[in-house]
Structure 1
Amino acid sequence: MNIDILTEDRLAALKDAIGQAEKIVVCCHKSPDGDALGAVLTWVEYLKMVGKEPVAVIPDAFPDFLKWLPGNEQLLRYDKHPEEATQTIAAADLVFCLDFDGLDRLDLMAKAMEGFKGRYVVIDHHTNPRIPGALELSYPSMCSTCELIFRIICQLGGFDEMTRRMATTLYTGMMTDTGGFTYNSTRPEIYHIIGLLLTKGIDKDKIYRNVFNVYSSWALRLRGYLMSQKLNVFDDFHASYFTISRQDMKNFHFIKGDVEGLVNEPLRIKGMKLSISLREDDRRDRVVWVSLRSVDDFPCNQMAAEFFNGGGHLNASGGRLDCSLEEAEKVVRAAIIHYENLLKG
């Protein structure tokens, strides 16, 4: 099965960019998820394999359940070391932007990019990349950026030298960005790639346990509380939303990752088409993070762009509102009513 993804022109441009670069930075979006981290860690290892010395710079913290990933100790966090990260980016001549489509997805770290005078390369699977002048290797049909990274490494001739560590981080990204291969994962090529990763000796069952079976008792209590007390279900619209307040997080000793994937849970309700979560930022006032999930052909990305200053994929998107949690609930209700015909249909 042919898994090549890049045209000859783009492949040549990528090789040229890597070959000419002396100082390379690899970065991803704010609040990195499994796909973002998996892509960054794998791509860094590949660049080292071909003789480069890249630096991985990420905007902020990632969930505790990803801290076992091999190589995470080498990540430079902007929120903890802003001066070092800014200097590192300014000194680079090539920056790889993995798993995001615009510099605004870096949040506060976007300021560090103001001093960057080199070239951007985007490797992503979101629609409509928005980084001016970048070499765009963006393919929305991919299930994850990690799938795209795997294909690119293979096309560059790197499969034989791919290590078990690289295969582990790639599989983690593919698995987490598809909900354990339960959505956006029907193409046969995905399972062909999984088979190839298995030849590198990865333990896919252990990877699953490392990611999904590591909640604290407080996290389980929080998740149960949110589903029993904070879930709003609109049966006529086949839609639901729930809120997570700063007080909720305090009451249940919240740590990053405790509610990861919870937005998918309401989709288990029979007939449900859309699930939305609203979470107050744990540090900044009047910032609410929005996650949307859907089934079949309901366009989460369209709703996210129209109502939540965001975007993403057809069935999995996100956004942000600069308002109170109560005001965000009004926006959600308006969005659900606006899409009444698609939700009720």
Structure 2
Amino acid sequence: MQQLEILSDTAQNTLCQLIETAQHIVVCCHKSPDGDAIGSSLAWADFLKSRGKEVQTVIPDAFPDFLKWLPGTERLLRYDKQRERAEEAFAKADLVFCLDFNAAGRVDEMQTPLEASPARRVMIDHHLNPTLAAELAVSMPQMSSTSEMIFRIVWQLGGFEAMTRQAAIAIYCGMMTDTGGFTYNSTRPEIYTIIGHLLTKGFDKDKIYRNVYHNYSSWAIRFRGYIMSQKLNVIADFNASYFCITRQDMRRFHFNKGDAEGLVNEPLRIRGQRLVISLREDTDKDRLILVSLRSVDDFPCNEMAERFFNGGGHRNASGGKLFCTIDEAETVVRDAILAFADRLKKPAAESIEKNV
């Protein structure tokens, strides 16, 4: 089906040649990998193995607990825990695939072995403004997710019939999590064509949803309720809100990685909200604040992330970081909201009523 193909003839030939001439391949993704990073990496590694390649999937650090049910996660090599083995994999590789990131800095400390590797490099990603040096760069910000891109590439290379159920699950999970359960950045008809094809592999998509979104501990539910009831700051005049998560908050509620996943989306349920910002103290490094931004309609939170938070991303979903205290970060948030006041004052509800 031609509508699913995304590679030009030249790019397809280059990719096929790179795969054909490689034997030891590393697939890697960004720091703090999410569902799309893990899903696309697992599915692409599965495809490469079907081509007879030796594949090692390396991730910079821990991924959320609610993804550990995904088939194949037990074989992921964590750089922060298994550094020697990971560095050996990069040194031995003759081809490295960089999935779901477009700048070397996004892999944090793993940047050193990645850049030192003698392997040729391929980037497959859907974020704006790529800077990663690669022999082949497949960059498509219009795609819902890197997992969607992986499906399309596997399809174009004739690999769908041989796609395993496990790979189909990984792709679906990646697409689902990067669109908030197909609630944003997912209006293109081809996305649902892809879902239809994936479902022929015989998995239960409803169970995948439950595994991801109904998989919190009781402490995590209490934590999320506490943040929304006690820490949420709603700035009604500008249709924006933000909240701060401190280390003390996390200790109090026995925080595990992933417990705050998707929490930044919750205040968007407030009528008229256009922007939500989450600030969270890093669990390991002092004076490091992790920032997540979500918006609706035409508000460009990626512009705000670039200007105020050393980050970037998509128009409605972006991230960044600040090197300061949580109190100083809160001041930056308020400055950012004021700077974008004119674009925030129009309630989201008004544009929804007019543009549906």
What TM-score bracket applies, with the shorter chain setting the length? over 0.9
SS at match of 1:292: strand
Do the aligned partners of 2:123 and 2:134 also contact (CA within 8 Å) in 1?
no
SS at match of 2:63: coil
Are 2:22 and 1:21 equivalent residues in the alignment?
A: yes
- Structure 1 match to 2:131: 130
Task: Deviation per CA, 1:195-230: give whole Å up to 9, x if none.
Answer: 000111010000000000011110000000000111
What is the 5 A alignment of 1:33-44?
33-44=34-45
Q: CA deviation at 1:234?
A: 0.5
Q: CA deviation at 1:128?
A: 1.5
- Structure 1 match to 2:202: 201
Paired AA for residue 288 in structure 2: V
- Structure 1 match to 2:270: 269
What is the 5 A alignment of 1:32-71?
32-71=33-72
- Structure 2 match to 1:111: 112
Identity of aligned residues (%): 64
- Structure 1 match to 2:291: 290
Paired AA for residue 193 in structure 2: H
Query: 2:134 & 2:49 partners in 1: Cα distance?
Result: 25
SS at match of 2:151: helix
SS at match of 1:11: helix
SS at match of 2:4: coil
Q: CA deviation at 1:84?
A: 1.5
Query: 2:25 & 2:345 partners in 1: Cα distance?
Result: 49
SS at match of 2:197: helix
Q: CA deviation at 1:114?
A: 3.6
Query: 2:270 & 2:327 partners in 1: Cα distance?
Result: 25
Task: Deviation per CA, 1:78-104: give whole Å up to 9, x if none.
Answer: 000112211211221211000001010
Paired AA for residue 3 in structure 1: L
Task: Deviation per CA, 1:287-336: give whole Å up to 9, x if none.
Answer: 11000000001111111111111111110011111111111111111111
- Structure 2 match to 1:312: 313
Paired AA for residue 100 in structure 1: F
4+ aligned runs moved over 6 Å, structure 1: none
Do the aligned partners of 2:295 and 2:316 also contact (CA within 8 Å) in 1?
yes
- Structure 2 match to 1:177: 178
Unaligned runs of 5+ in 2: 347-356
Query: 2:92 & 2:168 partners in 1: Cα distance?
Result: 30
Q: CA deviation at 1:119?
A: 1.4
Query: 1:150 & 1:74 partners in 2: Cα distance?
Result: 21
Farther off after superposition, 15-24 or 172-181? 15-24
- Structure 2 match to 1:279: 280
Unaligned runs of 5+ in 1: none
- Structure 2 match to 1:146: 147
- Structure 1 match to 2:157: 156
Q: CA deviation at 1:117?
A: 2.1
Q: 1:133 to 1:41 in 2, by over 3 A?
A: closer
Query: 1:61 & 1:159 partners in 2: Cα distance?
Result: 30
RMSD of Structure 2 on Structure 1 (CA): 0.9
Query: 2:311 & 2:218 partners in 1: Cα distance?
Result: 32
Do the aligned partners of 2:234 and 2:242 also contact (CA within 8 Å) in 1?
yes
TM-score, normalised to structure 2's length?
Answer: 0.96
